[in-house]
Amino acid sequence: MNESLYPLLYSSCIPVKGANKSIICDLQNQCYIHLPNELYDIVDTLGEYSLSQYRSANDLETYLLLEKYFFSLEENRFLFFTHTPKMFPKLDFERWDCPSLISNAVIDLGTSIQFNLENVIDDLVNMGCQYLQIRSFDTLVLSDLSYRLINARIHLKDINLDLILKYYQGCKISQIKEFADLFPCISTITFHSAGFEKFYEISSHIKVTYTKTVIIDETHCGKINSEHFRANMTAFAENREWNSCLNRKIAIDKNGQIKNCPSMEFSYGLITERSIREVVLNIPEFRDLWRISKDKIQVCRDCEYRYICSDCRAYLEDPLMKPAKCSYNPYQGE
Amino acid sequence: MSHRNTILIISEYSDISTRKVFDYLNHLSSINVKIITPHEKVFIETIRVSVNRKKILLKCNNDVINFDNIRSVWYRRGFISSVPFPYDTIHKLEKQINTFLSTEWEKITSFLLSISQLEPGIFLLGSFEHERHCNKLINLHIASSIGLTIPETFITSDRLSLLNFSDDYELLATKPVSNVPIFSLGMKIYSGGGTNVLTKSDIKDLPQQFFPVLVQEYIDKLYEIRVLFLKGDLYAMAIFSQGNERTKIDYRNYDIDEPNRLTPIELPQSIQVKIREFMNKLSLNFGSIDLIYSKEGKYVFLEVNPSGQFDWLSFNCNYNLEKRIAKILLNET
Ligand code: SF4
Ligand code: SF4
């Protein structure tokens, strides 16, 4: 091995240090590996020293261990050796942006209030919304939903639509197919309170799930676990500066209140009295929560998963507390 | 300037980058954006060629496009379709007439897409002319005259001269002079891939004389580099395919199991200067450039593609080029 070479991580492999443990996020392959904190500083400063510098700065035994570690990282394609480490800049996450004023939305359809869903979708599309979840805790028959959405069909084509509905007897597959034909933007339909578990795909991109889980209200949301970690470029970049759940989100709760998310207590007004567009454009406070990145949140800021984790700002006494439904303790590493 | 409230994009229907730039244009401004793809037939209402009374009016899907209102044009890729030609193609003579008419149409669209050179109020990004007439050989020649290193390149129809040429190099590569060929027969599609290795025994199997082929010295590389040149700025990405036999020749033969490592790279100033000079010489303000970094530590120029894909470069290096392009088209940089 030529000792004038510098070991260097590929730019998409990014070490993140936690209070007790560290990880290296591999944004290209969308995964991560664990790393003891003792090695973090070495991994974080890779590219600054050549192998011969490592050799002269350490006793032989330590050096050989380091070398072995570098080789194993190389074998797993996290690391390469180069003479010109300065030519490989780190990824610049300042550039993160998305072409939407609102990128995702949740609409809960309740029985206590009726409003014009089509106008809301118009507004969402005009603000660049790419993802919409429509949810119902009580029975909502597909044909009724399709009736409320039908005039927004053309607009919906640019949105990914997920439906979470209460299971009801008599909802045939043929009806689901009919619905999906009308609204090709659908990507998943989940029936909660079904009493049985079943999953199938009605076409290459539409998944239907039946689950026993009973969802009576919005409080089912907000659980944090490693299944929801997203170690990808976009999420990682966004999470450095922005809130991992609420950034560019808007919601209408089951009572027609316009909120940051249905579980938040604060309402910006009733959808029958003002438009979501008005709220986004004219109420500056509406965007305050977007700025609460993980680095600002207690505990999370010391957690190695902070840039790949989701977040939840609901059910909290203090807006800067760690999510209520996270059971991980980064100080103990478990 | 204020009356110029339209941006015209010529592209293909499914081009992801067009879609993203379009979204940014809508997000950042209230400008009108008109995308023309080969799916839309364009009807020419008026093209008036005269110095002080220039006028261009097009119709496309009931939209009127008046060039007086156009702020910028992005020739991304693809072509402009005409209204149908008047003849069917069963008869020999009519076939020839149609061929003639399509040449006529090509000249007209080519004039339309170079209008911004004649009309200083319109900014043009990309080049239809170059996309149509891009010539790898001329480009290699220009690159080397500027001082960029290029692979030793040889074209021949003669086995003996090919053998002689091959004596000087350990390994040879061959690739099309024009584009990657795609043939179809019935339902089957045949594609030749990009670059292939040519061994001595391959050459020995050739007849005495054959159709001319392009042959280059095979350069052992440490990594490949893809550069997007965007109005003077360079955005570069290194592609590490090292230790991966399948992608040793051309990264277009994607390897799904073990993806190449992609990482931003900053080219040395001297290479940046030469690439800028090269693009200026070609009068290109947009293009994607392929380089390799050889085992000997040389940056070797391979080719430029005036309408190459840059989505994966933008994404993997987090360059957000789509926003940059939108701002350039809006003239907001
Ligand atoms: S803030 Fe919590 S409850 Fe609200 S949408 Fe996000 S995860 Fe769900
Ligand atoms: S402590 Fe915070 S960042 Fe860590 S897993 Fe829990 S919620 Fe995610």
Instruction: Please check whether residue B319 touches A, CB under 8 A.
Output: yes
Phi/psi for B214 (5° steps) reads -95, 130
Q: Where are the beta strands (DSSP E) in chain B?
A: 6-10, 32-36, 41-48, 55-60, 63-66, 70-75, 81-82, 123-125, 153-158, 172-174, 182-185, 188-191, 196-198, 209-217, 221-230, 233-240, 261-264, 286-294, 299-305
Residues of B in contact with A12 (CB under 8 A): 261-263, 316
The set of residues, in sequence order, having a beta carbon less than 8 Å from that of B123 and lying 6+ positions away, is B71, B72, B73, B116, B328, B329, B331
Rounded CA-CA distance A15/A25 in Å is 6
Own/partner pairs for A34-40, CB < 8 Å, 24+ apart?
A39/A69, A40/A15
If we measure between CA atoms, which residue out of A204, A206, A185 comes closest to residue A125? A185
Range name among A2-16, A300-314, B92-106 with the lowest pLDDT average:
B92-106
**Which residue minimizes the CA distance to atom 1 of ligand 2?**
A300
Residues of A in contact with B294 (CB under 8 A): none
3-state secondary structure of A282: helix
**Closest ligand 2 atom, CA of A310?**
8
Instruction: Please check whether residue B303 touches A, CB under 8 A.
Output: no
Asked whether the beta carbons of residue A87 and residue B265 sit closer than 8 angstroms, the reply is: yes
Ligand 2 pocket, residue A224 CB under 6 Å = yes
Look at residue A266 and tell me if it is in a domain. yes
Contact status, residue A222 vs residue A324, Cβ threshold 8 Å: yes
Kindly report the number of other CB atoms within 10 A of residue A7's CB atom: 24
**Closest ligand 2 atom, CA of A224?**
7
Q: How large is the average pLDDT for residues A210-222?
A: 94
Considering only CA atoms, give the Rg of chain A: 24
Rounded CA-CA distance A221/A312 in Å is 9
Burial of A301 (0-12, 13-18, 19+ CB in 10 A): middle
pLDDT tens readout for residues A171-190: 888 899 999 989 989 999 99
Ligand 1 pocket, residue A247 CB under 6 Å = no
Q: Is the ipTM of this complex over 0.85?
A: yes
Element (H, E) at A108: strand A104-108
Residue with tokens 């439904």: A325
* Tokens at B162, concatenated: 């090919």
Look at residue A52 and tell me if it is in a domain. yes
Query: Which of the following CATH numbers is that of domain B221-305: 3.30.470.20, 3.40.50.300, 3.40.50.960, 3.40.50.720?
Result: 3.30.470.20
The set of residues, in sequence order, having a beta carbon less than 8 Å from that of B302 and lying 6+ positions away, is B150, B151, B290, B291, B292
What is the full per-residue pLDDT of chain B (333 aa) written as tens digits?
Answer: 458 899 999 999 899 999 999 999 999 999 999 999 998 888 988 888 877 777 888 888 888 999 889 999 999 999 998 877 776 667 788 888 888 888 999 999 998 888 777 788 899 999 998 888 889 999 999 999 999 999 999 999 999 999 999 999 988 999 998 888 888 888 888 877 678 888 888 888 899 999 999 999 999 889 999 999 999 999 999 999 855 444 445 444 444 456 789 999 999 999 999 999 999 999 999 999 999 999 899 999 999 999 999 999 999 999 999 999 999 999 876
- Helix crossing, B136-146 with B269-281: angle to 10°? 130
Ligand 2 pocket, residue A261 CB under 6 Å = no
Ligand 1 pocket, residue A294 CB under 6 Å = no
Look at residue A92 and tell me if it is in a domain. no
Domain match, A171 and A248 both: yes
Of residues A146 and B3, which shows the higher confidence score? Answer: A146
Ligand 1 pocket, residue A246 CB under 6 Å = yes
Ligand 1 pocket, residue A165 CB under 6 Å = no
Residue with tokens 């439906």: A163
Domain match, A166 and A25 both: no
Task: Note the ligand closest to the C-alpha atom of A106.
Answer: 1
Residues of A in contact with B261 (CB under 8 A): 10, 12, 28, 77, 80
Look at residue A270 and tell me if it is in a domain. yes
**Closest ligand 1 atom, CA of A264?**
4
Ligand 2 pocket, residue A326 CB under 6 Å = yes
* Closest Cβ opposite residue B262 in set A28, A92, A101: A28
Domain match, A112 and A230 both: yes
Look at residue A320 and tell me if it is in a domain. no
pLDDT for residue B252: 47
Residue B308 has, within 13 A of its CA and on its CB side, a CA count of 23
Considering only the C-alpha atoms of chain A, give the largest distance between any 2 of them, rounded to a whole number of Å: 76
The set of residues, in sequence order, having a beta carbon less than 8 Å from that of B324 and lying 6+ positions away, is B230, B233, B333
Domain match, A278 and A156 both: yes
Look at residue A249 and tell me if it is in a domain. yes
Look at residue A166 and tell me if it is in a domain. yes
Phi/psi for B229 (5° steps) reads -95, 120
pLDDT for residue B333: 63
Mode of pairing for the β-strands spanning B41-48 and B81-82: parallel
Instruction: Please check whether residue B164 touches A, CB under 8 A.
Output: no
Element (H, E) at B110: helix B92-112
pLDDT for residue B215: 94
* Tokens at B235, concatenated: 């955005």
Of residues B132 and A217, which shows the higher confidence score? Answer: A217
In sign, the C-alpha dihedral spanning A254, A258, A264, A265 is: negative
Ligand 1 pocket, residue A263 CB under 6 Å = yes
The set of residues, in sequence order, having a beta carbon less than 8 Å from that of A143 and lying 6+ positions away, is A175, A179
3-state secondary structure of B6: strand
- A39, A54, A87: which is the final residue of a domain? A87
Domain match, A192 and A151 both: yes
pLDDT for residue A295: 96
Residue with tokens 């290109």: B284
Kindly report the number of other CB atoms within 10 A of residue B132's CB atom: 13
Q: How large is the average pLDDT for residues A213-226?
A: 93
Domain(s) labelled CATH 3.30.470.20 in chain B stretch across: 221-305
Residues of A in contact with B323 (CB under 8 A): 95, 97, 99
Q: How far lies A145's CA from each of A161, A175, B266, in Å? A: 13, 12, 53
Question: Can you give the residue range of the structural domain that contains A240?
Answer: 104-302
pLDDT tens readout for residues A95-123: 789 999 999 999 999 999 999 999 999 99
Q: Where are the alpha helices (DSSP H) in chain A?
A: 37-44, 51-57, 60-75, 117-126, 142-149, 153-156, 173-182, 233-241, 276-282
pLDDT for residue B118: 75
* Closest Cβ opposite residue B23 in set A93, A128, A233: A128
Ligand 2 centroid to residue A330 C-alpha, Å: 8
Contact status, residue A179 vs residue A142, Cβ threshold 8 Å: yes
Look at residue A98 and tell me if it is in a domain. no
Query: Which of the following CATH numbers is that of domain B152-217: 1.10.405, 1.10.3470, 3.30.70, 3.30.1490?
Result: 3.30.1490
3-state secondary structure of B312: helix
Q: How near does any CA of chain B get to the CA of A91, in Å? A: 6
Rounded CA-CA distance A24/A32 in Å is 5
Domain(s) labelled CATH 3.30.1490 in chain B stretch across: 152-217
- What's the structural domain count of chain A? 2
- A52, A87, A122: which is the final residue of a domain? A87
- A26, A60, A87: which is the final residue of a domain? A87
Ligand 2 centroid to residue A333 C-alpha, Å: 11
Phi/psi for B72 (5° steps) reads -150, 155
Domain match, A61 and A176 both: no
3-state secondary structure of B246: helix
Range name among A20-24, A50-54, A240-244, B257-261 with the lowest pLDDT average:
B257-261
Task: Provide the b/e sequence for A248-271 (b: ≥16 CB within 10 Å).
Answer: bbbbbbbebbbbbbbbbeebbbeb
Q: Which amino acid is at B162?
A: L
pLDDT for residue B82: 85
> pTM for the full model?
0.90
Ligand 2 centroid to residue B299 C-alpha, Å: 45
Q: How near does any CA of chain B get to the CA of A98, in Å? A: 8
Closest residue, chain A, to B324 (C-alpha)? A95
User: Does the pLDDT of residue A197 top 60, yes or no?
Assistant: yes
